[in-house]
Homo-oligomer: A and B are copies of this chain.
């Protein structure tokens, strides 16, 4: 049942950049393409947008199909539409990025017919299409955004230690922070709730904290601004 239009139209897809924190390494989920073009290459998970489907819904659907993950941080990144970015014709793709908490969402490593795998950001294979460029933009966005909005917590388990949080920032931003100063600053913000201590660790048990979203939003109303700087060497 063909569809006919007076003027030519592009295809529209969504692609997802899914970041996860594995220990202290930041990783991204890629799938190995089973079909041409770029058969055998690694690519960002994604697919075509249905005609009666929101863009964001489509991206959430793709994410769910590929990883089984739902209800995570999710945001539009950018739209790529250069003619020639897909050998099959004019394909415009709307990219979304997601932050998932690997320790609480056991992402199924493989799904559908495709092979899926987590890659460290510094051990990436060559990517299909312009996905290298897309991924780079996602990394830049993450680096930029994590400093001014409390989205880093999305990568951690619900309960985390200050050391984990510090390590997260050091990983994403690339740099060291002074422990004393990091703690003082983040605690003074008043957006973390202190919980119980860790148990069964072979050293002094750390306090666990939870990000207090309600408190954060409350503070935002009166001109509070979240900001993390990497200063120390």
| A residues with CB within 8 A of B | 2-12, 48-49, 51-55, 76, 78-83, 90, 92, 94, 148, 223, 225, 229-231
Pick the 4 closest A-B CB pairs, nearest first: A9-B9, A55-B81, A79-B79, A3-B8
Q: What's the Cα separation between A219 and B12 when bound, in Å?
A: 40
Sample of 17 further A-B pairs with CB below 8 A, known A7-B48, A12-B81, A54-B81 = A3-B5, A5-B9, A8-B51, A9-B9, A9-B12, A10-B12, A10-B49, A10-B51, A54-B82, A54-B83, A55-B81, A76-B79, A79-B94, A92-B94, A148-B148, A223-B231, A225-B229
Q: Is A81 in contact with B52, judged by CB distance below 8 angstroms?
A: no
**CB-defined contacts of A92 to chain B, threshold 8 Å:** 12, 55, 92, 94
**CB-defined contacts of A82 to chain B, threshold 8 Å:** 54-55
Q: What's the Cα separation between A90 and B52 when bound, in Å?
A: 8
Chain B residue at minimum C-beta to C-beta distance from A79: B79
Q: Is A94 in contact with B81, judged by CB distance below 8 angstroms?
A: yes
Q: Is A2 in contact with B2, judged by CB distance below 8 angstroms?
A: no
Chain B residue at minimum C-beta to C-beta distance from A148: B148
A106 to chain B, nearest CB (A): 32
Q: Is A2 in contact with B3, judged by CB distance below 8 angstroms?
A: no
A82 to chain B, nearest CB (A): 5
**CB-defined contacts of A229 to chain B, threshold 8 Å:** 225
**CB-defined contacts of A48 to chain B, threshold 8 Å:** 7
